[in-house]
Structure 1
């Protein structure tokens, strides 16, 4: 066995299936392997990167075939199968996948039997509570959001999901400023948002009559004050709504009614203003455009530059050079 670890990254490799089962149990859920095929080389490789406490990015490779009974994961494991084949049996249903397909392994509270055949896969491991925070609803009577299927709702949705995953994986490693907490939390929220968009789920978005009554100017003032005081924190619409003492739907309706925007778009504009101020006040220090952008949660350089130019009429690099 070989293993290396840093504060947010782990690599593991083993030629022992029993050893691999132990690591799988410690990493995901208790795993009992059966119907194994005798390995002739490396059995398993894992590369884990922690994005935030709510999201981890895993790459997993099995160099053999086997079946395993797995206890409930208690997390959401979204998988992109790159090579090989997998099958999942749970609650009397069987699902099979091949290279190029994306899927949710199982509901967090469901045990399953998984079968793999010489696979490599990329996974997003997500705490279910992040979905409630990002979707800004816990459903009727506080019931957490639940996915209604295991595959994206269409081929286009599958492409959007894979594209978002590819962007986050590359940006976590390669983009300057990716160590900033706000950058990482925004990337995690992006994955949760795209998952909710691409996989059928129980999230509701219809405002009630009470929401309409609460969407008054005082709600807006409270929300704006909270956003401006907390733009440097990892906040979601649910946090803003709590500060304004209304539901998230009422909050969204207030912003739409009085400012013709959304709470998160307003937050993005406030963060953009902070990035602009930092670039304007750089005074020859070592600040770069991307470090300022990342500090305020903007991970896509092209998107940041466009938003900046649309708002201020100048490129961020121009503002930095003139400081």
Structure 2
């Protein structure tokens, strides 16, 4: 992975903000996306804002005039959600055109592309190879990153596209920072999994039948018990499905099967339930002085979602637990 990241890298700036036009805008966009876009056209007003969270970045880009591009490959995957206008992307003999409300996997790694737009506003989500590989390892351990490929650059279904956009809407508003590594790792993998579920690819769509049979055979109660013991031994660490599966000596898919078969939930849902209980304990015993402190300690980075889950499980607000303990 170190060689991969040395070659592929991340978006070159943490936060970017630009307003301008002409040659200045052309140079800015080449710099911002780490490659030569070869933009042609009048290049009127351009507005570009990026928030980079380390491995994942969210951009808002507006170009108010017709523009063509013939780009070299970018060093990361870029998913484009069209907010206004229309944009067209071509890779080899495949051309995808998307307008308001559409989504397309525009670029990534060794995939040059060309296209045009008549003036548009888009939200670009960039995902590094490291983030996507971590998500792939949850599905197929040790899958070589260079073999990951997409068989289509548009969502599998309209519903898959809607799920992607809803996920990015939520995550772009409250993505955890690098100072919260547990929450940051979980959020990054969630986005990687959502990308794999959104666009057809050889990871999810190419599993041989014999592997499925083996995983079904390994989905035993003892696998669940080993996973429970491991989760409960380190709930405040960055636990991915791949990490838990390795500790249990089964594949991530077998672990998913085992939890659904014997507990009726996923392994990660079980992790969240354990962590919710630990937050509650910390609020009751005074080791967490505030709700935010207790939630952050166990990786809950979205306050609204945390409060909703907490109420659903314990039938009270976390603030009520804290107030009662101090009372």
Question: What SS does the aligned partner of 2:88 have?
Answer: strand
Greater displacement, 25-34 / 205-214: 205-214
1:218 to 1:103, Cα distance in 2 relative to 1, 3 A? same
Q: CA deviation at 1:299?
A: 4.0
1:249 to 1:158, Cα distance in 2 relative to 1, 3 A? closer
Question: What SS does the aligned partner of 2:107 have?
Answer: coil
Question: What SS does the aligned partner of 2:73 have?
Answer: coil
Partner of residue 307, structure 2: 305
Q: CA deviation at 1:284?
A: 8.8
Distance in 1 between residues matched to 2:231 and 2:258, nearest whole Å: 14
Question: What SS does the aligned partner of 1:321 have?
Answer: helix
Distance in 2 between residues matched to 1:228 and 1:38, nearest whole Å: 56
Distance in 2 between residues matched to 1:179 and 1:46, nearest whole Å: 26
- Paired residue for 2:242, among 233, 238, 242? 238
Partner of residue 172, structure 2: 169
Partner of residue 79, structure 1: 80
1:313 to 1:87, Cα distance in 2 relative to 1, 3 A? closer
Distance in 2 between residues matched to 1:284 and 1:218, nearest whole Å: 34
Task: Determine if contact 2:224/2:259 at 8 Å carries over to the other structure.
Answer: yes
Determine if the alignment matches structure 1 residue 270 to structure 2 residue 274.
yes
Question: What SS does the aligned partner of 2:41 have?
Answer: coil
Question: What SS does the aligned partner of 1:105 have?
Answer: strand
Partner of residue 319, structure 1: 321
Distance in 1 between residues matched to 2:217 and 2:78, nearest whole Å: 39
TM-score for the superposition, normalised by structure 2 = 0.80
Unaligned 5+ residue runs, structure 1? 1-6
Task: Spell out, residue by residue over 1:173-194, the C-alpha distance to the aligned partner (whole angstroms, 9 max, x if none).
Answer: 9xxx996333333333332333
The two structures, once aligned, show a CA RMSD in angstroms of 3.1
Partner of residue 101, structure 1: 102
Distance in 2 between residues matched to 1:38 and 1:146, nearest whole Å: 33
Question: What SS does the aligned partner of 2:229 have?
Answer: helix
Distance in 2 between residues matched to 1:89 and 1:247, nearest whole Å: 37
Number of equivalenced pairs = 307
- Paired residue for 2:212, among 205, 208, 215? 208
Partner of residue 18, structure 2: 12
Q: CA deviation at 1:145?
A: 4.1
Distance in 2 between residues matched to 1:178 and 1:274, nearest whole Å: 23
Greater displacement, 100-109 / 291-300: 291-300
Distance in 1 between residues matched to 2:25 and 2:116, nearest whole Å: 15
Q: CA deviation at 1:67?
A: 1.7
Q: CA deviation at 1:105?
A: 0.5
Pairing 1:114-193 to 2, within 5 Å after superposition? 114-135=115-136, 136-138=138-140, 142=144, 144-172=147-175, 180-193=180-193
Distance in 2 between residues matched to 1:154 and 1:77, nearest whole Å: 19
TM-score for the superposition, normalised by structure 1 = 0.81
Task: Determine if contact 2:186/2:240 at 8 Å carries over to the other structure.
Answer: no
Task: Determine if contact 1:69/1:114 at 8 Å carries over to the other structure.
Answer: yes
Partner of residue 3, structure 1: none
Greater displacement, 306-315 / 56-65: 306-315
